[in-house]
A and B are shown apart, each in its own frame.
Chain A
């Protein structure tokens, strides 16, 4: 007997496999998109079609209350990209130096090293300075001095200032190493069971994530006050709550030990 051609309904392999697979697919679609959603209140609230759309991942509206935080104040609006990490050219550094001497050096020191408790800016990553200035400008980070100053700066001036500080030598030449003796456990390995990532995973040592500042040699009081501000929610301009989620669970003693560790400096101010 001659076997029918493959692509013909007379061929039972063709018939059964196409009908079988088609039937199975339709049945699975019905269960997944109609039957299972039908027992979920949030899926069925707006009728059958909306329920199917939700199951497909495209609800007609994403929030039942409909009031999304549009551009809430206090959280950052800056998207950090790798472009912002590039060092500026010589002329940008020069222009930045002029602005810095006039507007920044009073608190942040003539060479970017603070004598008070303002943060050191010498050797700070450019994208950090850029992001914080924009956040001040927009009112997402609060400081009576900084908000006023930042509002006077143009985009180019902000980049110039960042390029200038990037060009200065840092307070400590090398970042903390993951296996550095004397480093608190929180700095080296974090605390996995509290979901706390080691500091060195973002702030340098193991890896440096864009937007995470260089911390070595910062004034202890500054580090402590910022961590406390993150923990209380007073400061909220960290992307995705990265810092708030880390420090919220730390005890005062832990905050103290981390701040103290990062504030230590080399005996003599090292060059880059």
Chain B
């Protein structure tokens, strides 16, 4: 790497320290609500903690990882120094200042609105401004990714953009458009109320704007992991990438389909028409396509590695996989969690089936499996993989890394599978208090005990992760050149469509207008839809 080492390290360290802090909050939330602990008495403390946990895990941690990884990819894949280093630092500091600005009101109980905001609840204005700064900081990154790709293309006319950079910029554009929904909600609907200019808010419209961001943000979180699947995993386990083209297709499909589907979060909201709910459900189903493409391609790539190692037979090759390699373990765990989480997600997105699990613990189980499970376990791996590049350290100890991955995987399964079960029994999510003395809850308390145990394993795993990274000795030794996966057959030419984004951005925006244009316009002109704001944390 050239200029970005310290920059990437700064992003990663802040992300990981914030991550561990939020992990501890999450475990506390599990513990105090379980029969293991006496109830703390004040539900506001619980919601304060949920807001902190969600804000860090949803906005700060994945954004910093995506930014840091993006800067690293820019230098490693394009093999040239990052343009706009000073701007990148400005973006980083905006994220830091925003995080602190949001964290203080959360900590003092002035912003217990959860990271999904939930108007008409209105928290401290500094909370929202902090979130806006985090997003603005990430927009600097989006711009830098676009500028760096453009400059590289200008100097390398006709050449295929390296797959890692292609995915990286797809993620950046996805985030740019995705974050617009929440940005509109905050700037035009929430801030005027939080600043005291208004005392009513159109909560229904605000929810529609948030749904614009709410679902696609998951695909922004997911992009670094998918880039790792395609461009790091095959190399790390000694195989080849089955198809470079498939990777590009998956990335552009995410770009087009992940955005205009968020109304499936509003199936129970009366202000949106049933026709649009169906439309969004149908397009949500389309996201399965790039997901399955990826699973297929990565399994095929892994099979190549096994056959190179002498694996034979239809399934016999599985035994020949490098199971001692942490990356092999991580990708396996990731796919198992993606499988369970994805299967649950199909129920969430189905207009009718959703009714059985809407707003239950099932949903919490689902998104923890997908994000904290399948996605975050790959964040660990990309940090481990990049660490020698960033610090000049030797490769990290495989034994400890594997222990950390096992703890994370087992902890996540122990925590989330009982959540799914108890969600089917009807346990609501976001409950601060469960009355286990009530006979109607007989036989449900164990799920929270399991959650606390699983959560404890996750905290230990998180601490071990940071320990492994912190223990790596920094040296000035020049690390071996970083390589990305090599495809089995590199296509001689890459179609213009798969070497740039303009067509896909146009389709993404067009589809957003079709799927969101009418519901937003209709709610915006509807009269008498505002309700009094409910200030949080003190009159």
A: residues with CB less than 8 A from B are 3, 5-7, 11, 13-14, 17-18, 21, 24-25, 28-29, 31-33, 36-37, 52, 54-58, 79-83, 85, 125, 177-179, 188-189, 191-193, 198, 201, 206-210
Residues of chain B contacted by A31 (CB below 8 angstroms): 278, 282
Q: Is B332 an interface residue (CB 8 A)?
A: no
Given contacts A11-B496, A14-B503, contact A37 B533 (CB under 8 A): no
- B504 contacts which chain A residues (CB < 8 A)? 17
Any A CB within 8 A of the CB of B136? no
Contact status A178-B440, CB under 8 Å: no
Taking CB atoms and an 8 Å cut-off, the chain B residues in 43-81 that contact chain A are 43-44
| In the bound complex, CA of A31 to CA of B280 (Å) | 12
Q: How far is it, in angstroms, between the C-alpha of A31 and the C-alpha of B64 when the chains are bound?
A: 41
**Residue contact A3 to B496, C-beta cutoff 8 Å:** yes
Ranked 8 nearest A-B pairs via Cβ: A57-B273, A55-B275, A179-B41, A32-B278, A13-B497, A28-B282, A178-B42, A81-B199
Specify which chain B residues have a CB less than 8 angstroms from the CB of A54 in the assembled complex: 273-274
B265-284, CB < 8 A from A: 271-279, 282-283
Give chain B's interface residue range (CB within 8 Å of chain A): 35 or more
- Which residues of chain B are near A178, meaning CB under 8 Å? 41-44
Closest approach, in angstroms, between the C-beta of B293 and any C-beta of chain A?
15
Closest residue of chain A to B43, judged by CB? A206
Most buried by A among B434, B500, B503, B533: B503
Who on chain A is nearest to B441 by CB? A193
Q: Are B41 and A188 in contact (CB under 8 A)?
A: yes
> Could you tell me the distance between the alpha carbons of A210 and B122 in the complex, rounded to whole angstroms?
13
Contact of A179 (CB < 8 Å), options: B42, B256, B537 = B42
Instruction: Name which of B274, B276, B286, B519 has the most chain A CB atoms within 10 A of its CB.
Output: B274
Residues of A within 8 A of B435 (CB): 189, 191-193
| A188 contact set on B, CB distance < 8 A | 41
Instruction: Tell me, in angstroms, the Cα distance from A36 to B199 when the chains sit together.
Output: 40
Q: What are 28 A-B interface contacts by the 8 Å CB criterion?
A: A3-B493, A6-B500, A13-B503, A17-B507, A18-B507, A21-B507, A21-B511, A24-B286, A33-B275, A36-B274, A37-B274, A56-B276, A56-B518, A56-B522, A57-B271, A81-B199, A82-B532, A82-B533, A82-B535, A179-B41, A188-B41, A189-B435, A192-B431, A192-B434, A192-B435, A193-B435, A193-B441, A210-B535
**Inter-chain contacts of A56 with B (CB < 8 A):** 273, 275-276, 518, 522
Contact check, A57 vs B272: say whether CB atoms are below 8 A apart: yes
A29-B532 CB under 8 A given contacts A11-B497, A13-B495: no
When distances are taken between beta carbons in the complex, the residues of chain B under 8 Å from A5 are 496
Which B residues lie within 8 Å of A17 (CB)? Answer: 497, 503-504, 507
Verify A82–B496 contact, CB threshold 8 A: no
| Distance from A261 Cβ to chain B, minimum over Cβ atoms (Å) | 16
For the complex, is B438 an interface residue (Cβ under 8 Å from A)?
Answer: yes
B536 partner, pick from A21, A58, A207, beta carbons under 8 A: A207
Query: Once the chains are docked, how many angstroms separate the CA of A3 from the CA of B43?
Result: 63
Tell me the smallest distance from the CB of A195 to a CB of chain B, in Å: 10
Contact of B44 among A11, A21, A57, A207 (CB under 8 A): A207
Give B511-539 as 1s and 0s: 1 = Cβ < 8 Å from A's Cβ atoms: 10010001100100000000011111101
In the complex, A255 Cα to B459 Cα: how many Å? Answer: 44
Contact of A58 among B500, B510, B522 (CB under 8 A): B522
Q: Is there an interface contact between A32 and B199, defined as CB atoms closer than 8 Å?
A: no
State whether the Cβ of B39 lies closer than 8 Å to any Cβ in chain A. Answer: yes
Q: A82-B533, A178-B41, A193-B438 are in contact. Are A57 and B539 (CB under 8 A)?
A: no
Which A residues are CB-close (under 8 A) to B518?
A: 56
Write out the residue numbers on chain B whose beta carbons fall within 8 Å of the beta carbon of A33. Answer: 275
Binary contact readout B437-469 vs A (1 if CB under 8 angstroms, 0 otherwise): 010110000000000000000000000000000
Q: Are A29 and B493 in contact (CB under 8 A)?
A: no
